[in-house]
């Protein structure tokens, strides 16, 4: 009954919102309870510390996908509450084994799993027993669900693990994906998928043979600002796309880190962060580059760049003459943005490839006016929605949106970029007959 009285006015003549602000919620609850009782409301009540509390009325649907509807209390002048989340019961969620407890796992993935709705942490794999024990305690993972790289294969006997998520240096992805597939588990693999296109092909074949799903963790394809740009471009809301300018750069400092060792990283800035420019351009345009032209540079004598490159600058030619001009760098202050320039306007996305902080600007002309606007979109936890998408694919037996074939295509393009930089000539990208395999159905991002 209280829920249906949003315009209720109290004796003082104050609005309900002002009343709550002035008196505090608990006093208000007593007053509201009194009014409710006087009106003959039948909500359940209890007495604690001398205060009479009212259980807020709530509609509790039996369907797991219908949200619980709570009592209304906000004015219509304020933003409406979002529906309550509808997470799956914890025991029914897809169980993840996280392999490699480095920066990405500890700083992003494990915290993100706590916010997932269809995914849960089931197991951990690490080479460090001390780290394994500490992280297991922090996240409530049972000792029997903690594995070393030597005992990794025993995950096959663990029914609590549905997915193995490979978060190791790039050069180890192939081995651990193939072993994971042979253990009969679905595989989520960090980007870049591997060190080479040949390795990607082996990984895809192994997952097909084992009949397990393989997804590459291209979080940008699930990120709302980047998806919005894709929609605007593909609907041609700003006319034909003409040109893209993309940068992904950051500063490295440790020459001993695996990212600076060719065997473990596969390359330098290009496979680590330049890859975002390649993959996101393909995603937002919905087409494949037909040719690349590249230039590569490393500062002579810099110990950071004895094995891997510091900088790659390249152009990708897409069908219809669209040019994407891209730069990736391992020795500049962090910069991750791109602009898309169309016939009738442009879109610019700051922090485009970052974990948070995307800022989307749009410009177009209206008569004598140049209209520039900020398109504000709520941020999401990119890692949580990505893992929940993969879980959804397993629950509903769907092909992941970002497949192994999608990861392979980026490696084919990167190999062409390196070849162009080496030879100083443009390199054609052979037409790929498997483009329909690059993506599964559109993800339902809740
Ligand atoms: P990291 O160095 O912080 O962690 C790597 C982990 O692998 C460490 O725990 C390390 O101990 C372990 N490891 C096991 N064998 C190793 C070996 N032989 N040499 C070195 N380390 C070894 O790296 P990270 O930043 O967490 O990156 C891991 C993977 O995740 C990479 O493939 C990277 O490209 C990817 N990544 C993706 C994103 C994203 O946004 N999707 C962001 C960062 C990293």
Mean predicted lDDT score pLDDT of the chain: 89
Q: Ligand 1 in contact with 221 (CB < 6 A)?
A: no
Q: Is the pLDDT of residue 13 over 60?
A: no
Q: What does the CA dihedral 321, 327, 328, 333 come to, rounded to 10 degrees?
A: -140
Q: Is the pLDDT of residue 12 over 50?
A: no
167, 248, 269: residue to mutate for ligand 1 pocket, most atoms within 8 A of CB: 167
Which DSSP helix (H) or strand (E) runs through 146?
strand 146-147
Residue nearest to atom 2 of ligand 1 (CA): 102
Compute the C-alpha angle 205/207/210, nearest 5°: 105
Q: Ligand 1 in contact with 108 (CB < 6 A)?
A: no
- pLDDT of the residue at 49: 61
Q: Ligand 1 in contact with 190 (CB < 6 A)?
A: yes
Mean pLDDT of 189-198: 98
Which DSSP helix (H) or strand (E) runs through 124?
strand 119-125
- pLDDT of the residue at 412: 98
How far CA 137 is from CA of 99, 154, 350, 395, in Å, comes to: 17, 21, 38, 28
Residue pLDDT, tens place only, 253-263: 999 999 999 99
- Pick the catalytic residue: 191, 213, 228, 348? 191
- pLDDT of the residue at 52: 73
Q: Yes or no: say if 310 and 331 are a contact pair by the CB < 8 Å rule.
A: yes
Q: Is the pLDDT of residue 43 over 50?
A: no
Q: Is the pLDDT of residue 17 over 80?
A: no
Q: Ligand 1 in contact with 191 (CB < 6 A)?
A: yes
Q: Is 317 a catalytic residue?
A: no
Strand, coil or helix: 308: coil
- pLDDT of the residue at 446: 67
How far CA 345 is from CA of 353, 360, 372, 443, in Å, comes to: 22, 13, 10, 28
| Confidence label for 110 from pLDDT (cuts 50, 70 and 90) | very high
Out of 57-71, 316-330, 424-438, which region has the weakest mean confidence (pLDDT)?
Answer: 57-71
Distance of CA 377 to the CA centre of its chain: 15
Q: Cβ of 197: how many Cβ atoms within 10 Å?
A: 18
pTM value? 0.88
Mean pLDDT of 356-381: 96
Buried b (16+ CB within 10 A) or exposed e, 398-427: bebbbbbbbbbbbbebbbbbbebbeeeeeb
User: Cα(392) to centroid of ligand 1, in Å?
Assistant: 25
Residue nearest to atom 30 of ligand 1 (CA): 167
Mean pLDDT of 158-162: 98
Q: Is the pLDDT of residue 56 over 80?
A: no
Residue pLDDT, tens place only, 265-293: 999 999 999 999 999 999 999 999 999 99
Residue pLDDT, tens place only, 211-249: 999 999 999 999 999 999 999 999 999 999 999 999 999
Q: Ligand 1 in contact with 104 (CB < 6 A)?
A: yes
Q: Yes or no: say if 381 and 358 are a contact pair by the CB < 8 Å rule.
A: no
| Confidence label for 156 from pLDDT (cuts 50, 70 and 90) | very high
């Amino acid at each position: 009954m209280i829920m249906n009285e949003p315009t209720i006015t109290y004796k003082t003549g104050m609005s309900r919102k002002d009343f709550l602000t002035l008196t505090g919620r608990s006093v208000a609850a007593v007053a509201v309870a009194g009014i409710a009782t006087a009106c003959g409301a039948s909500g359940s009540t209890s007495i604690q510390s001398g205060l009479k509390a009212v259980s807020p009325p709530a509609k509790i649907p039996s369907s797991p996908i219908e949200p619980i509807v709570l009592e209304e209390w906000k004015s219509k002048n304020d933003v409406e509450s979002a529906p309550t989340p509808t997470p799956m019961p914890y025991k029914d969620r897809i169980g993840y084994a996280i392999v490699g407890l480095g920066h990405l796992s500890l700083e992003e993935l494990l915290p993100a799993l706590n916010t997932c709705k269809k995914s849960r942490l089931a197991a951990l794999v690490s080479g460090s027993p001390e780290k394994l024990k500490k992280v297991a305690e922090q996240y409530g993972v049972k000792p029997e669900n903690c594995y070393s790289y030597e005992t990794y294969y025993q995950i096959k006997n663990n029914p609590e693990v549905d997915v193995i998520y490979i978060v190791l240096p790039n050069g180890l992805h192939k081995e651990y994906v193939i072993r994971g597939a042979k253990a009969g588990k679905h595989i989520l693999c960090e980007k870049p998928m591997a060190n080479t296109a040949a390795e990607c092909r082996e990984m895809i074949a192994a997952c097909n043979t084992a009949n397990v799903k393989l997804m590459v963790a291209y979080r940008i394809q699930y990120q709302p600002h980047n998806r919005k740009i894709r929609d605007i471009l593909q609907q041609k809301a700003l006319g034909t796309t003409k040109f893209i300018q993309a940068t992904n750069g950051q500063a490295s400092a440790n020459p001993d880190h695996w990212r600076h060792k060719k065997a473990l990283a596969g390359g330098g800035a290009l496979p680590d962060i330049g890859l975002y420019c390649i993959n996101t351009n393909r995603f937002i345009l919905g087409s494949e580059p037909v040719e690349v032209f590249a230039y590569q540079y490393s500062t002579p004598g810099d110990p950071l760049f004895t094995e891997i490159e510091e900088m790659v600058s390249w152009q990708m030619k897409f069908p219809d003459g669209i040019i994407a001009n891209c730069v990736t760098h391992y020795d500049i202050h962090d910069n991750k943005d791109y602009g898309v320039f169309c016939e009738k306007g442009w879109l610019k996305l700051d922090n485009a490839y970052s974990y948070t902080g995307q800022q989307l600007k749009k410009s177009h002309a209206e008569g004598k006016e140049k209209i520039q606007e900020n398109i504000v979109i709520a941020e999401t936890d990119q890692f949580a929605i990505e893992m929940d998408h993969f879980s959804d694919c397993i629950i509903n037996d769907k092909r992941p949106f970002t497949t192994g074939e999608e990861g392979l295509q980026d490696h084919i393009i990167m190999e062409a970029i390196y070849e162009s930089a080496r030879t100083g000539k443009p390199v054609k990208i052979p037409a790929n007959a498997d483009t329909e395999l690059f993506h599964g159905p559109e993800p339902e991002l809740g």
